[in-house]
Amino acid sequence: MNIGKMLVAMAMVLILSPFNVLASENPMLVRIDLTGEMDIVNLRGIDIDIQVVKADYAEAVVYPSDLEKLRSRGLSYAIIYEDLVAFYRSRNPLALDMGGFPTLSEAIDIMDSLAATYPAIVSAKWSIGSSWEGRDLWVFKISDNVNVDEDEPEVFYNSLIHAREPAGMTWILHFAGWLCENYTSDSVASYIVDNRELFFLPVFNPDGYEYNRLTNPGGGGMWRKNRRPGDGVDLNRNWGYMWGYDNYGSSPDPWSETYRGPAPFSEPETDTVRQFIVSRDFDFVINAHTYGEYLLYPWGYDYFYTPDQDFFYMVGDSGSTLTGYAHGTAWELLYQTNGDANDWCYGEQVEKPLIFAIAPESGNSYDGFWPLPSRIPEINAEMLPFGIYIAQLAGVIMGLHFDYPAGVPHTLIPAQQTSFDVTVSGVRGGEPVWGTGQLHYSVDGGPYVTIAMAENQPNEYTATLPALNCGSVIDFYITAEEVTVGTVSDPPDAPATTYSATPVTGTVETFNDNFENNLGWTTEIIGATSGYWERGVPVNDPNWDYDPVTDGDGSGSCYLTQNQMGNTDVDNGAVRLTSPVFDLSDGGIIEYYYYLYLTNTTNGVDILLVEINNNGGIGTWTEISRHDTNGSLDWRHHTITGADLSLAGVTPTFNMVIRFTANDADPQSIVEAGIDGVIVTKYECDQPDQIPTLSEWGMLILALLLLAAGTIAIIRKRILALKDSAK
């Protein structure tokens, strides 16, 4: 080829290339080292296509021109596959269509054949709207009486919102097929089909999926977004809840892989699915993605948990058991995302009620987007229990909420019964059964006694604790019945965790430190090279996001692990903060605020350990709490009760000391801690026993028995005497 022809050819390439120059480069897979402490922070600052984040590395799909971004941030990386598409293609030597995954038209055929084979339980597919290029978004339904809209819990399973994630489609189709094939023969499949309404959208982004077939008919295509003319939009950044919240969770740049589009729901695909979701009444939406072995739930948009974190955690935990995947919010496990489907499903509550949304990322990091064909059935099998679990759970998410208008008593008047009000209401569609409220209590570690609570109004009760003497402790919990799920307790894991109370004649705040003055705390460095405890008003460095913005109790000052500008966290060891002596000899509680930001939460390696000593700091220290979950940039409040102390085997004395140790066991992670508002409330109880104790009762009963026996003996003698005289 002569120079002239070459120039013409190059010009053609440039003109024909529909996007920016990146499109002509090969995507590669890199593994980025995260063992340097600032690596995770630096990685969050760049817009690259991250797939998995593990404790000490991340994997991302990058173009040659992205490598400079990594280098400029001081991140080191290894190239795993220089030509990722070629690698994916090499896994498909038989040149199967789309690497063994159904093509768009094959997916449509599967829907048609399911409906034809199982017409009693599978609906004919219908189009809920169409894509940029005019392709239909096909949905089908599985249920008994499938053409009737029955009053049954509903779940929506959708996949291929990202065009290169076909393993999401195969597992939801496989789950649908499993229900059909096992209906009537398997009790679980039958139960689900008879009692739920399941809706499936296997190809959310048909244009993107077809585009991948066009460029890579044998699979391996790396297109992610839709096909909006120009550069396409990431359909999982285009939803209208917290859309464009910041530029970390989505991008304003059209060429970015996470381009959020010009406006919320600007894309026909997202707008169509939004209207479909609003038209139904889903308990759960499963947004199937690949890959990385995660189960992700909201929020994605910032470092917060939803008000339903406990519920999501419970579902995630069960999901983990079933799949082996890690569960958590997107920011905990991967990165922030804004404008995504999960956040809209849960967060948007004007057009529709909140919906529990979960995004499973199926397949491991070796599977990638285009797994070996032989892995497709394996991924289907590993996701099946999760699909089943969510379908079952949809009908039984109902819970109860227990409310205590005047609080739950921690202290009691000696020798007097204590009553408190309990209001029971339904959450997540739950319905309390009237008259089922019960109080369960155990005195001084004795067996549990169950008594009905007095019901004043439907679901409004008064619980009454028995009279106790000074020195006794009562543990208690509440239960009530929910119509569908049965008995619900508060605390939820009772009797493992309970409320407890003790008789008190007075309380005295014997210690109250808001850290405005030096009350005699001491600090120690145990191997750490930075992040030493310091008292002061938080400096709040705008460039170091991991310290608290304010103190915990609102007075201004607190203790922090190094309160200076810049990277100031604990490294290479531990730092310890020890209190002055306080008095708990008559019982009482210890309260404190703590702040904890951790980037490594695996196996509790990085922790804030709280220990207690009852001998002025000399001798044994006992662990009393261990904080090892990320606090989502918030202060949290913690109370140590008398029951906690007795559980830990610590006898309260007048010579108590508490200490807080922030430990960086993994020196490459961030550990930022704070302590504030430490209050010790001492209980006093100085009233002689008025209620007979158990042994006293015993004596009394014995005395009565003796008395009765004596009386009987006398009566008997008299009768005998009368009989004698009658002779």
Single residue of 123, 212, 514, 614 touching Ca ion by CB under 5 A: 514
Smallest separation (angstroms) from ligand 0X9 to the CB of 449? 45
Binding stretches for Zn ion (CB under 5 A)? 162, 165, 289
DSSP for residue 415: T
155 versus 662: smaller Cβ distance to ligand 0X9: 155
467 φ, ψ (degrees, to nearest 5): -70, 140
251 token code pair: 């991008």
531 token code pair: 């992040």
Structural contact between residues 701 and 605, judged by C-beta atoms closer than 8 angstroms: no
Identify the bridge partners of residue 358 per DSSP, sorted by sequence position.
Answer: 286
* Residue 582 interacts with Ca ion (CB under 5 A): yes or no: no
* Residue 489 interacts with ligand 0X9 (CB under 6 A): yes or no: no
Structural contact between residues 595 and 631, judged by C-beta atoms closer than 8 angstroms: yes
CA 636 vs CA 10, 156, 302, 553, 574: distances in Å: 61, 36, 18, 10, 21
Distance separating alpha carbons of residues 358 and 344, to the nearest angstrom: 11
327 token code pair: 């569960």
Compute the CA torsion angle 136, 137, 143, 147 (nearest 10 deg): -40
Closest CA to 584 of 648, 635, 658, 534: 658
* Residue 682 interacts with ligand 0X9 (CB under 6 A): yes or no: no
Smallest separation (angstroms) from Ca ion to the CB of 537? 9
Tell me the window of 196-204, 278-286, 339-347, 438-446 that interacts with ligand 0X9 (CB under 6 A).
339-347
Single residue of 192, 193, 286, 296 touching ligand 0X9 by CB under 6 A: 296
Smallest separation (angstroms) from Ca ion to the CB of 569? 5
Which segments of 374-532 are extended strands (E)?
Answer: 399-403, 411-412, 418-427, 438-443, 449-452, 454-457, 460-465, 474-482, 486-490, 499-503, 506-513, 522-526
Smallest separation (angstroms) from Ca ion to the CB of 566? 9
Closest CA to 81 of 33, 25, 29: 29
Q: Which does 361 bind (CB under 5 to 8 A by kind): Zn ion, ligand 0X9, Ca ion, none?
A: ligand 0X9
* Residue 30 interacts with Ca ion (CB under 5 A): yes or no: no
Q: Which does 343 bind (CB under 5 to 8 A by kind): Ca ion, Zn ion, ligand 0X9, none?
A: ligand 0X9
402 versus 592: smaller Cβ distance to Ca ion: 592
* Residue 236 interacts with ligand 0X9 (CB under 6 A): yes or no: yes
* Residue 579 interacts with Ca ion (CB under 5 A): yes or no: no
192 versus 296: smaller Cβ distance to ligand 0X9: 296
264 versus 292: smaller Cβ distance to Zn ion: 292
5 token code pair: 């022809």
CA 287 vs CA 34, 155, 171, 274, 555: distances in Å: 29, 11, 12, 13, 44
331 versus 660: smaller Cβ distance to ligand 0X9: 331
Q: Which amino acid is at 297?
A: Y
Q: Which does 340 bind (CB under 5 to 8 A by kind): Ca ion, Zn ion, ligand 0X9, none?
A: ligand 0X9
Single residue of 561, 579, 641, 681 touching Ca ion by CB under 5 A: 561
424 token code pair: 């029971």
Compute the CA torsion angle 442, 682, 404, 514 (nearest 10 deg): -140
Residues 297-336 within binding reach of ligand 0X9 (CB under 6 A): 297-298, 300, 329-330
* Residue 676 interacts with Ca ion (CB under 5 A): yes or no: yes
666 token code pair: 């993994």
Give the side-chain half-sphere CA count within 13 A for 539.
14
* Residue 342 interacts with ligand 0X9 (CB under 6 A): yes or no: yes
495 versus 536: smaller Cβ distance to Ca ion: 536
87 versus 544: smaller Cβ distance to Ca ion: 544
Q: Which does 553 bind (CB under 5 to 8 A by kind): ligand 0X9, Zn ion, Ca ion, none?
A: Ca ion
DSSP for residue 238: -
332 versus 611: smaller Cβ distance to ligand 0X9: 332
165 versus 571: smaller Cβ distance to ligand 0X9: 165
274 versus 289: smaller Cβ distance to Zn ion: 289
Phi-psi region of 604 (alpha: psi -120 to 50; beta: other; left: phi over 0): left
Residues 518-557 within binding reach of Ca ion (CB under 5 A): 547, 551, 553, 555, 557
Give the side-chain half-sphere CA count within 13 A for 313.
8
Number of residues interacting with ligand 0X9: please give it, by CB under 6 A. 17
Residues 6 or more apart whose Cβ sits within 8 Å of residue 554: none
Smallest separation (angstroms) from ligand 0X9 to the CB of 302? 11
Q: Which does 501 bind (CB under 5 to 8 A by kind): Ca ion, ligand 0X9, Zn ion, none?
A: none
244 versus 548: smaller Cβ distance to Ca ion: 548
Smallest separation (angstroms) from Zn ion to the CB of 284? 18
* Residue 343 interacts with ligand 0X9 (CB under 6 A): yes or no: yes
Determine how β-strand 438-443 pairs with β-strand 449-452.
antiparallel
213 versus 289: smaller Cβ distance to Zn ion: 289
Q: Which does 330 bind (CB under 5 to 8 A by kind): Ca ion, Zn ion, ligand 0X9, none?
A: ligand 0X9
CA 447 vs CA 479, 497, 529: distances in Å: 17, 15, 51
Structural contact between residues 422 and 488, judged by C-beta atoms closer than 8 angstroms: no
- Please give the residue ranges that form the binding site for ligand 0X9 (CB under 6 A): 51, 162, 165, 236, 289, 296-298, 300, 329-330, 337, 340, 342-343, 359, 361
- Please give the residue ranges that form the binding site for Ca ion (CB under 5 A): 514-515, 547, 551, 553, 555, 557-558, 561-562, 568, 672, 676
